[in-house]
């Protein structure tokens, strides 16, 4: 059994001032052919696929094509998209004949010349392998599901949780693929677009309306002949032609069942639209005042407008400037991406006084640099750490600046470690001694869970801000909730 395997993942933020090119993919590993399994043998959806492939009775010949993982960032340049799609097509053609294709795609990638990156890639793959070869895709559930994606894949299997478990999604998708190949499973697909965009505040699947919606999908999956129910609450910073929420239902050769469940899922989301829109945001000045009163445990201050995992630049000064202005009395950890200030701190040297304007280096539309006066407490000339959650992670150079009770870590790049305790550990800081930490994410708080006593979602402006009405939307189809009044919407 010959199965082609590829991963092209990037989450595009349409409101980012940065363009994404191959340099955005290289730090995470941009690999081709056999190099892929040598370098990333068991991570992510492909790792999950490989686990299931290894359990098959018939030997599976895995044909690795392309692995490009770019995190979240700005719109992909035309040249980068053309390069990646050409590599995928040419390598797939060279690998033919194949019995199936397993892909890991984000689903919310857009390039300068293509609103629907995944739809285009899937169309190419379908053209090459023909109409009867199964194509199964593991997709991030923040995807924007499009007509071309549905028409050119046999199954689009989304993550079951936020924070995500990509490997588990890979296992689930692979299980379906092997049932198609070995047991004659005939996957039938129905899907629904839902005219909604909502902010990240209610995106966790462990609570609130998102939990109810995802629980409904899981309960449907326990019914006979239901293969998979994948809800897709699209990430809210994607301004593209087919933008909006969706649901995709896969059944065992039962189209009416798939259609009725897709409609039921769509109605369930639509009827909760006001709950999904509900915000828990606190103004930065109030958030800092509240955090300052804590005397045990750790308050997580979520910098919602500057979510690096959502594609933002990580250089917002909104919370930092409040911490400095209020001279916060409790030990508070703050990360900031500013290569220029970092360079100056490294030159200044450990133990010396440090005075500088920091932040707002990449995105000065929403916030301004802030002046700090402190001391360089520690520096690192660049370190690569092994994280169980992610694999290898390059932190790059870093400097720890003490500004009163603020412990500011300056870094040069958008590393995964920015929301991880390792950022502070590697500079000799004890996270348990801190009472506050600023995280540049609105969802991935799990790395600080052992110390967490409270979470405050700070209403900070930026390209990942929760106030979606403040952006200028150009391409998203209208009418759409919550921007337009929609009377009596019903699924098709």
* CB nearer to Zn ion: pick between 9 and 319: 9
Locate 223 and state its tokens: 């019914």
Strand residue runs (E) in 74-225: 75-76, 100-105, 135-139, 155-158, 187-194
Q: At closest approach, how far in Å is the CB of 164 from Zn ion?
A: 6
Q: Say how far apart CA 305 and CA 284 lie, in whole Å.
A: 11
Question: Closest distance between Zn ion and the C-beta of residue 182, in Å?
Answer: 30
CB closer to Zn ion out of 172 and 397 = 172
CB atoms within 10 A of CB 266: 25
Give 232 or 367: the residue with its C-beta nearer to Zn ion: 232
Tell me which stretch binds Zn ion (CB under 5 A): 86-94, 141-149, 174-182, 303-311.
141-149
The residue from 140, 228, 239, 242 that contacts Zn ion (CB under 5 A) is 140
Shortest reach from residue 72's CB to Zn ion, in Å: 8
How far apart CA 172 and CA 183 sit, in angstroms, is 16
218/223 with CB nearer Zn ion: 218
Alpha carbon distance 220, 275 (integer Å): 22
Stretch that binds Zn ion, among 93-101, 120-128, 135-143, 450-458 (CB under 5 A): 135-143
Strand runs labelled E in 443-485: 452-458
118 binds Zn ion (CB under 5 A): no
b/e 270-283 (16+ beta carbons within 10 angstroms → b)? bebbeebbeeebbe
Least distance in angstroms from the C-beta of 23 to Zn ion: 22
Question: What is the nearest approach in angstroms of Zn ion to the Cβ of residue 267?
Answer: 24
Only segment of 45-53, 132-140, 283-291, 317-325 that touches Zn ion (CB under 5 A): 132-140
Helices then strands, counting H and E runs in the chain, come out as 14, 20
How many residues line the site for Zn ion (CB under 5 A)?
A: 2
The least CB distance from residue 479 to Zn ion, in Å, is 25
**What whole-number distance in Å separates Cα of residue 108 and Cα of residue 115?**
9
Q: Tell me: does residue 142 bind Zn ion (CB under 5 A).
A: yes
Distances (CA, A) of 106 to 72, 113, 157: 10, 18, 11
Query: What would the two tokens of residue 123 be?
Result: 């169309």
Pick the closer one to Zn ion by CB: 112 or 165: 165
Nearer to Zn ion, 139 or 360 (CB): 139
Q: With CB under 5 A as the contact rule, which of the stretches 137-145, 374-382, 430-438, 452-460 interacts with Zn ion?
A: 137-145
Question: With CB under 5 A as the contact rule, which of the stretches 32-40, 140-148, 297-305, 389-397 interacts with Zn ion?
Answer: 140-148
In the complex, minimum distance from the CB of residue 263 to Zn ion, in angstroms, rounded to a whole number: 25
The DSSP H or E segment spanning 87 is helix 78-95
Pick between residue 140 and residue 412 the one whose CB is nearest to Zn ion: 140
Q: How many CB atoms within 10 Å of residue 96?
A: 13
Of 142 and 281, which CB lies nearer to Zn ion in the complex structure? 142
Instruction: In angstroms, give the least distance from the CB of 335 to Zn ion.
Output: 21
Where does this chain touch Zn ion (CB under 5 A) — which range of 16-24, 138-146, 223-231, 320-328? 138-146
When the beta carbons of 126 and 414 are compared against Zn ion, the nearer one is 414
Residues 6 or more apart whose CB falls under 8 angstroms from that of 34 comprise: 64
- The CA radius of gyration of the chain, in Å to the nearest whole number, is 23
Q: Which is nearer to Zn ion, 146 or 317 (CB)?
A: 146
Distance in Å, CB of 290 to Zn ion, minimum: 29
Cα–Cα distance measured from residue 6 to residue 85, given in angstroms and rounded to the nearest whole number: 11
User: In sequence order, what E strands does 33-99 have?
Assistant: 61-73, 75-76
136, β-bridge pairs: 102, 155
**The Cα angle at residue 116 between residues 469 and 87, in degrees rounded to 5:** 140
* String marking each residue 220-249 x if it binds Zn ion according to CB under 5 A: ------------------------------
Residue 464's Cβ-side half-sphere holds a number of Cα atoms within 13 Å equal to 30
Nearer to Zn ion, 154 or 441 (CB): 441
What three-state secondary structure class fits 23? helix
Q: How far is the CB of 12 from Zn ion (least distance, A)?
A: 12
Q: Which residue is nearest to Zn ion (CB)?
A: 142
Q: In angstroms, give the least distance from the CB of 404 to Zn ion.
A: 36
Q: Which stretch binds Zn ion (CB under 5 A): 27-35, 142-150, 191-199, 364-372?
A: 142-150
Please state, in angstroms and as integers, the Cα–Cα distance from residue 4 to each residue in 49, 64, 106, 237, following that order: 11, 6, 18, 32
By CB under 5 A, name the binding residues for Zn ion: 140, 142
């Amino acid at each position: 059994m010959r199965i082609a395997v590829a991963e092209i993942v990037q989450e595009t933020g349409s409101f980012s001032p940065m363009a994404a090119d191959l340099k955005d993919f290289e730090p995470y590993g941009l690999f081709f052919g056999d190099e892929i399994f040598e370098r990333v043998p068991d991570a992510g959806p492909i790792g999950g696929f490989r686990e299931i492939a290894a359990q098959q009775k018939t030997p599976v010949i895995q044909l690795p094509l392309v692995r490009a993982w770019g995190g979240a960032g700005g719109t992909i340049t035309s040249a980068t998209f053309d390069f990646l799609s050409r590599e995928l097509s040419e390598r797939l053609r060279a690998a033919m004949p194949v019995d199936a294709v397993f892909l890991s795609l984000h689903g919310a990638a857009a390039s300068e010349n293509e609103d629907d990156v995944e739809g285009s890639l899937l169309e190419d793959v379908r053209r090459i392998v023909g109409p009867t070869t199964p194509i199964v895709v593991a997709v991030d559930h923040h995807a924007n599901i499009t007509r071309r994606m549905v028409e050119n894949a046999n199954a689009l299997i989304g993550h079951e949780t936020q924070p995500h478990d990509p490997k588990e999604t890979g296992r689930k998708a692979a299980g379906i693929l092997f049932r198609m190949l070995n047991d004659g499973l005939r996957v039938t697909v129905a899907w629904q677009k839902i005219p909604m965009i909502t902010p990240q505040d209610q995106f966790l699947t462990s609570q609130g309306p998102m939990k109810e919606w995802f629980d409904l999908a899981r309960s449907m999956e326990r019914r006979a002949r239901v293969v998979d129910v994948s809800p897709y609450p699209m990430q809210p910073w994607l301004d593209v032609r087919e933008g909006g929420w969706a649901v995709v239902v896969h059944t065992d050769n039962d189209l009416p069942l798939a259609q009725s469940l897709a409609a039921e899922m769509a109605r369930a989301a639509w009827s909760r639209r006001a709950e999904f829109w509900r915000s828990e945001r606190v103004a930065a000045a109030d958030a800092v005042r509240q955090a300052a009163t804590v005397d045990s445990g750790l308050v997580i201050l979520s910098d919602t407008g500057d979510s690096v995992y959502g594609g933002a630049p990580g250089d917002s000064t909104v919370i930092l400037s409040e911490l400095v202005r209020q001279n916060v009395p409790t030990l508070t950890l703050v990360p900031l991406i500013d290569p220029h200030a970092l360079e100056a701190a490294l030159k200044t040297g450990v133990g010396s006084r440090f005075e500088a304007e920091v932040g707002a280096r990449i995105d000065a539309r929403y916030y301004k640099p802030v002046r700090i006066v402190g001391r360089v407490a520690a520096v690192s000339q660049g370190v690569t750490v092994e994280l169980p959650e992610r694999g290898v992670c390059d932190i790059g150079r870093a400097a720890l600046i003490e500004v009163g009770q603020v412990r500011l870590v300056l870094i040069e790049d958008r590393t995964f470690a920015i929301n991880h305790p390792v950022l502070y550990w590697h500079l000799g800081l004890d996270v348990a001694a801190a009472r506050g930490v600023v995280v540049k994410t609105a969802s991935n708080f799990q790395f600080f869970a052992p110390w967490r006593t409270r979470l405050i979602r700070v209403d900070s402006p930026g390209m990942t801000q929760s106030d979606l009405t403040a952006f200028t939307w150009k391409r998203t189809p209208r009418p759409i909730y919550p921007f337009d009044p929609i009377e009596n919407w019903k699924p098709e």
